[in-house]
Amino acid sequence: MKKRGILNVPISKTIAELGHTDKLVICDAGLPIPQDANRIDLALKAGTPNFINVLKPILDEMVVEKAILAEEIKQVSPELFEEIKEALGDIAIEFSTHEEFKKLSQQSKGIVRTGEITSYANIILVSGVDF
């Protein structure tokens, strides 16, 4: 058994398998996920687990070069946007339209679905290197 960190096997395994520029998505309960995607579904009920409670431990374990958010989050869900910026710290943020975000998410190595029901609570984490 692991002493600390993420205990969820599919999440831990997916992070360990990421290479430079690979993508990991953390999404709300409504983001469309392709049938053949590496779906890691944590959603239990509306709001559980919430987006930030999933994002923070993943950021603790993953080397993140940059993050991609939907441009719409700034206007529609500004409080969540502020929480995300705080969690990311110095990690660069890029923006796309929500439609482009959905296309980009299909190129990810894994999609972690939360129970979040806040609009545009989705992020693509682009893997960096630790050297």
Task: Name residues whose C-beta falls within 8 Å of residue 121's C-beta, 6 or more positions apart in sequence.
Answer: 27, 28, 51, 73, 77, 80, 114
- Residues marked active site are found at 20
Sign of CA dihedral 91, 96, 98, 102: negative
122 annotated ligand-binding residue: yes
Closest CA to 51 of 24, 80, 10: 80
130 annotated ligand-binding residue: no
29 annotated ligand-binding residue: no
53 annotated ligand-binding residue: no
8 annotated ligand-binding residue: no
Sign of CA dihedral 99, 101, 107, 110: negative
Tokens linked to 14: 């997916």
**Bind-site residues for substrate:** 28, 98, 120-122
**Bind-site residues:** 28, 98, 120-122
